Structure 1
Amino acid sequence: MTSVNDVTTEASDDKPSGYAAARLRLLQGGAQSGPPRRSALAELTDDWLTELFGQGAQGVALVAVGGYGRGELSPRSDLDLLLLHDGTADPGEIAALADRVWYPVWDLGLALDHSVRTPTEARKTAGDDLKVHLGLLDARHIAGDLGLTAGLRTAILADWRNQAPKRLPELREMCEERAERQGELQYLLEPDLKEARGGLRDATALRAVAASWLADAPREGLADARRRLLDVRDALHLTTGRATDRLALQEQDQVAAELGLLDADTLLRQVYEAARTISYASDVTWREVGRVLQSRAVRPRLRAMLGGGKAAPVERSPLAEGVVEMDGEAVLARAAKPDRDPVLPLRAAAAAAQAGLPLSLHAVRRMAAAARPLSTPWPAEAREQLVTLLGAGRSTVDVWEALEAEGLITRLLPDWERVRCRPQRNAVHTWTVDRHLVETAVRASELTRRVGRPDLLLVAALLHDIGKGWPGDHSVAGEIITRDVAARIGFDRADVAVLSSLVRHHLLLIETATRRDLEDPATVRAVADAVGSVGTLELLHALTEADALATGPAAWSSWRGSLVADLVKRVSAVLAGDEPLDPDAADPTAEQERLAVEAFRTGGPVLSLRAQTEAAAGPSDEPEPLGVELLIAVPDQPGVLPAVAGVLAMHRLTVRTAELRSLTLPEGVEGAVLLLNWRVAAEYGSLPQAARLRADLVRALDGSLDVAARLAERDAAYPRRRGVVAPPARVAVASAGSRLATVIEVRAQDAPGLLYRIGRALEASGVRVRSAHVSTLGANAVDAFYVTGADGVPLPSEEAASVAKGLEGALRG
Structure 2
Amino acid sequence: MPAAARPGFALVAVGGYGRQELLPGSDLDLLLLVNRRGDPGAVADALFYPIWDAGLALDHSVRTLDEALAVATGDLKVALGLIDARHVAGDEELTATLRSGARDGWRKQAGTRLPELAAMCRDRAASIGELAHLLEPDLVQAYGGLRDTLALRAVTASWIADRPRTAGVDVARQWLLTVRDALHRTTGRRQDRLLFEDQDDVAVRLGLPGADPLLRRVAEAGRSIAYASDVTWRDVERTLAGRKRRGRRQQLVRRPLADGVDEYDGEAVLSRDARPERDAVLPLRAAAAAAQAGIVLSPQTLARLAAECPPLPEPWPAAARDALVSLLGAGPGIVPVWDALEAAGLVLRWLPEWERIRYRPTRTPVHRHTVDRHLVETAAVAARLTRRVARPDLLLLGALVHDLGKGVRGDHSEAGEPIAIALGLRLGLTEPDAATLGRLVRHHLLLPETATRRDPDDPATLAAVVDAVGTREFLDLLACLTEADAAAAGPVAWSPLRARLVGDLVERTRHVLAGAAPPEPARLTAEQAALAAAGDLAVRVSDAPPSADGDRGGLAVVTVVAPARRGLLGTVAGVLALHRLDVRTAGAYTAGDTAVLVWRVVPRRGGGPDGVRLREDVGRALAGSLDLRERLAARAAEWRGRVIVHARPRVELLRDVSAEATVLEVRAHDEPGLLHRVATAVAAPGVVIRAAVVETLGSEAIDVFYLVDDAGAPLSPEAEDDAVAAATAAVSPPDTDSEPFPEGAGRVR
**Fold in common (TM above 0.5):** yes
The one-letter code sitting in structure 2 at the alignment partner of 1:546 is A
Among 558, 562, 565, the residue aligned to 1:634 = 562
The yes-or-no answer on 1:761 pairing with 2:697 is no
- Structure 2, unpaired ranges of 5+: 735-749
Cα distance change on mapping 1:101 and 1:545 into 2, 3 Å: same
Residue 747 of structure 2 corresponds to none
Larger deviation, residues 473-482 vs 247-256: 247-256
- Report the Cα offset of residue 721 of structure 1: 6.3
Report if the CA contact (8 A) 2:532-2:596 is conserved. yes
For residue 624 of structure 2, the aligned residue among 677, 684, 703 is 703
Aligned counterpart in structure 2 of residue 595 of structure 1, from 531, 553, 576: 531
User: Which of these residues, 492, 508, 531, is aligned with residue 570 of structure 1?
Assistant: 508
Match of 2:712 in 1: 792
Which residue does 1:261 correspond to in 2?
Answer: 208
CA distance in 2, matches of 1:519, 1:756: 23
CA distance in 2, matches of 1:431, 1:221: 23
Once the two structures are TM-superposed, the CA of residue 528 in structure 1 deviates from its matched residue by 2.3
Secondary structure in 1 matching 2:296: coil
Q: How big is the shift at 1:252?
A: 1.9
Aligned pairs for 1:69-218 (under 5 A) are 69-82=18-31, 91=38, 109-115=55-61, 119-142=65-88, 147-179=93-125, 182-216=128-162, 217-218=164-165
Change (3 A) 1:166 1:380: same
State yes or no: 1:522 paired with 2:460: yes
Range 428-437 or range 639-648, more displaced: 639-648
Aligned to 2:666: 746
TM-aligned CA deviation for residue 61 of structure 1:
5.2
For each residue in 1:184-217, what CA deviation from the matched residue of structure 2 results, as whole angstroms up to 9, or x when unmatched? 4334444332233322121011011011111133
2:355 is the alignment partner of 1:417: yes
Query: Structure 1 222/115 Cα, relative in aligned 2: closer, same or farther at 3 Å?
Result: same
Separation (CA, whole Å) in 1 of partners of 2:507 and 2:70: 70
- Does 1:331 pair with 2:269? yes
Q: 1:173 and 1:299 mapped to 2: Cα distance? A: 24
2:404 counterpart letter in structure 1: I
Give CA-to-partner distance per residue, 1:698-722, whole Å, 9 cap, x none. Answer: 3333334433345456557x76663
Q: Secondary structure at the match of 2:545?
A: strand
Is 1:300 the counterpart of 2:247? The answer is: yes
Identity of aligned residues (%): 55
Letter in 2 for 1:596: A
Question: 1:723 Cα deviation (Å)?
Answer: 5.6
Contact 1:656 1:679 in 2 (8 A): yes
| CA shift in 2, pair 1:722/1:598, >3 Å | closer
The equivalent of 1:29 in structure 2 is none
How many corresponding residue pairs?
732
Distance in 2 between residues matched to 1:704 and 1:338, nearest whole Å: 81
Asked whether 1:68 is paired with 2:6, we answer: no
1:807 paired with 2:727, answer yes
The equivalent of 1:306 in structure 2 is none
Distance 1:107 1:598 in 2: 74
The one-letter amino acid of 2:418's match is I
- 2:397 counterpart (446, 452, 459): 459
Distance in 2 between the 1:68 and 1:543 partners? 50
Q: 2:702 aligns with which of 768, 782, 807?
A: 782
Equivalent AA in structure 2 for residue 795 of structure 1: L
Structure 1 distance, partners of 2:553, 2:195, is 37
Give me the whole-angstrom Cα distance separating, in 1, the residues matched to 2:206 and 2:563.
Answer: 64
Match of 1:272 in 2: 219
Which residue number in structure 2 is paired with residue 735 of structure 1?
655
Residues 143 and 655 (structure 1 numbering): CA distance in 2 closer, same or farther, change over 3 Å?
closer
1 CA distance for matches of 2:63 and 2:97? 14
SS in structure 2 opposite 1:764?
coil
Q: 1:613 and 2:545 equivalent?
A: yes
Kept after mapping to 2: 8 A contact 1:415/1:466: yes
Deviations 1:372-416 (A, max 9, x none): 211111111111111111111111112111212222212211111
- Kept in 2, the 8 Å contact 1:595–1:607? The answer is no
Q: Which moved more, 1:245-254 or 1:473-482?
A: 245-254
Tell me, in whole angstroms, the C-alpha distance in 2 between the residues paired with 1:177 and 1:261. 33
- The alpha carbon displacement at 1:62 in A equals 4.9
Q: Taking structure 2 as the reference length, what is the TM-score of the superposition?
A: 0.90
Matched, 1:536 2:474: yes
Q: Which residue of 1 aligns with 2:738?
A: none
Match of 2:746 in 1: none
- Which amino acid is the alignment partner of residue 283 of structure 1? D
Specify which of 309, 318, 331 is matched with residue 371 of structure 1. Answer: 309
Is 1:534–1:575's contact at 8 Å kept on the other side of the alignment? yes
CA distance in 2, matches of 1:625, 1:231: 42
Distance 1:363 1:169 in 2: 26
Amino acid aligned to 2:731: L
Residue 538 of structure 1, CA deviation? 1.5
Report the equivalent of 1:722. Answer: 642
1:72 positional shift: 2.7
Shift in CA distance, 752/480, structure 1 to aligned 2, threshold 3 Å: same
> Does 1:342 find its partner at 2:280?
yes
Residues 581 and 164 (structure 1 numbering): CA distance in 2 closer, same or farther, change over 3 Å?
closer
| Contact in 2 for aligned 1:765/1:803 (Cα 8 Å) | no
Structure 1 distance, partners of 2:606, 2:141, is 36
| Cα distance in 2, alignment partners of residues 86 and 635 from structure 1 | 86
- TM-superposed CA distance for 1:681, in Å, is 4.4
Residues of 1 paired with 2:680 and 2:32: CA distance? 70
Change (3 A) 1:75 1:489: same
- Given that 2:556 and 2:608 are in contact with CA atoms closer than 8 Å, whether structure 1 keeps it comes out as no
Cα distance, 1:626 vs. partner? 8.4
Q: Secondary structure at the match of 1:613?
A: coil
Q: CA offsets, 1:413-462, max 9 Å, x none? A: 11112222222223321211111111111111111111111111111111
Q: CA deviation at 1:490?
A: 1.2
Change (3 A) 1:172 1:623: closer
CA distance in structure 2 between the partners assigned to 1:749 and 1:526 by the alignment: 29
Shift of 1:357: 1.8
CA contact (8 A) 1:559 1:626 kept: no
1:43-70 per-residue CA deviation (whole Å, 9 max, x = no partner) reads xxxxxxxxxx77xx76665544333333
Indicate the structure (1 or 2) with the bigger Cα radius of gyration: 1
Unaligned runs of 5+ in 1: 8-52, 303-311, 665-671
Give, in whole Å, the separation in 1 of the partners of 2:33 and 2:631.
66
Q: Which residue of 2 aligns with 1:659?
A: 587
Task: Decide whether the 8 Å contact of 1:521 with 1:581 is kept in 2.
Answer: no
**Do structure 1's residue 647 and structure 2's residue 575 form an aligned pair?**
yes
Q: Which moved more, 1:690-699 or 1:438-447?
A: 690-699
- 2:557/2:600 contact within 8 Å kept: yes
1:150-195: CA deviations, max 9, x gaps?
Answer: 4443333322222211221232233344445544433444433223
Which deviates further from its counterpart, 685-694 or 327-336? 685-694
Check conservation: 2:296, 2:337, Cα contact below 8 A: yes
269, 275, 281: which one pairs with 2:228? 281
Structure 2 residue aligned with 1:509:
447
Which residue of 2 is the match for residue 481 of structure 1? 419
C-alpha change, 1:96 and 1:590, in structure 2 (3 Å) is closer
Q: Quick check: 1:355 aligned with 2:293?
A: yes
Query: How many angstroms apart in 2 are the aligned matches of 1:689 and 1:434?
Result: 45
C-alpha distance in structure 1 between counterparts of 2:573 and 2:231, whole Å: 55
**In 2, Cα distance between the equivalents of 1:378 and 1:516?**
41
Q: Which amino acid aligns with 1:663?
A: A
